Amino acid sequence: SYNALLGAYASHGMHTEALRVFKLLKQNGLRPDVVSYTTLLNAYGRSGLPEKAREVFNDMRKNSCKPNKVSYNALIDAYGSAGMLKEAISLLHKMEKDGIPPDVVSISTLLTACGRCKQITEIDAIFEAAKSRGIELNIVAYNSGIGSYLSFGDYEKALELYASMMASNVNPDGVSYNILISGLCKLGRYAESLKFFEDMVDLRIPLTKEVYSSLICSYAKQGKLTEAKSTFSSMKESGCFPD
């Protein structure tokens, strides 16, 4: 019950409240378990406080509560989200030494971190790390990689990765298209961006307000106001209400 409440605060990045619940749990004679510690750790991570997250991580070991895969991944994300890619990558090796094999979540967390930290040189090493460990990339990992390439402005690598994803029989989802459409649009690759939108329609993948916003933005930037307006109209017609 305490963990559920802790999680509710953590998922909103409310670390102060999460810490209060964590203390309350202990005051009532209960021992925090791996989920309690990981939840608190994540609350700090989401609040952009990687050092506090690390403190919780160290604390759990001190109290002989072994961090598991989720704890490590949460700490990797805490560093990655804070732009500390080196620390995030070194945790991949640390968890391995600790007898916990990294999984596809560790990989996609790091792929996303590369994009945030604009570390184009590290991204291929991370794909290699996944491959050498036999970690199969899923749709989230591919989406993360595609997004990071696009954030570097490397749309060719992004499209290459998209192609190899298709070749591996991993099917794109709504998020994949959102990433491609908005990313290509930001780079001014309007024609490519529109092509993916058409694919999305053909495949009957539900169009979200995120995709409509990207498309409207794309037309607006090109000065195609008629298209922008008609996209806005079809958005409403399709039952997707503008916010």
Partner RNA sequence: UUCCCUAUAUCGUGGCCC
Residues forming contacts to RNA in the complex (CB under 7 A) are 3-4, 6-7, 10-11, 34-35, 38-39, 42, 68-71, 73-74, 77, 104-105, 108-109, 112, 138-141, 143-144, 147, 174-176, 178-179, 182, 186, 208-210, 213-214, 217, 243
Which residue type occupies 180? L
**Amino acid (one-letter) located at 173:** D
Beta carbon of residue 219, minimum distance to RNA (angstroms, whole number): 12
Closest to RNA by CB, 86 or 209: 209
Nearest-angstrom CA–CA distance, 52 and 104: 25
Nearer to RNA, 167 or 241 (CB): 241
> What's the distance, CA 43 to chain centroid?
16
Distance of CA 58 to the CA centre of its chain: 25
Q: Would you say 67 or 226 has its CB closer to RNA?
A: 67
Choose between 86 and 95: whose C-beta lies nearer to RNA. Answer: 95
Give the nearer residue to RNA in terms of CB position, either 88 or 128: 88
Least distance in angstroms from the C-beta of 2 to RNA: 8
Query: What minimum distance in Å lies between the beta carbon of 187 and RNA?
Result: 11
How far apart CA 22 and CA 45 sit, in angstroms, is: 16
CA gap 26, 99 in Å, rounded: 29
Smallest separation, CB 7 to RNA (Å): 3
Q: How far is the CB of 234 from RNA (least distance, A)?
A: 16
Q: Which is nearer to RNA, 119 or 143 (CB)?
A: 143
Instruction: Write down the least CB distance from residue 130 to RNA, Å.
Output: 11
Q: What is the DSSP string of 86-124?
A: HHHHHHHHHHHHTT----HHHHHHHHHHHHHHT-HHHHH
Shortest CA distance to 37 belongs to which of 49, 48, 26, 28? 26
Please count the other Cβ atoms lying within 10 Å of the Cβ belonging to residue 204.
7
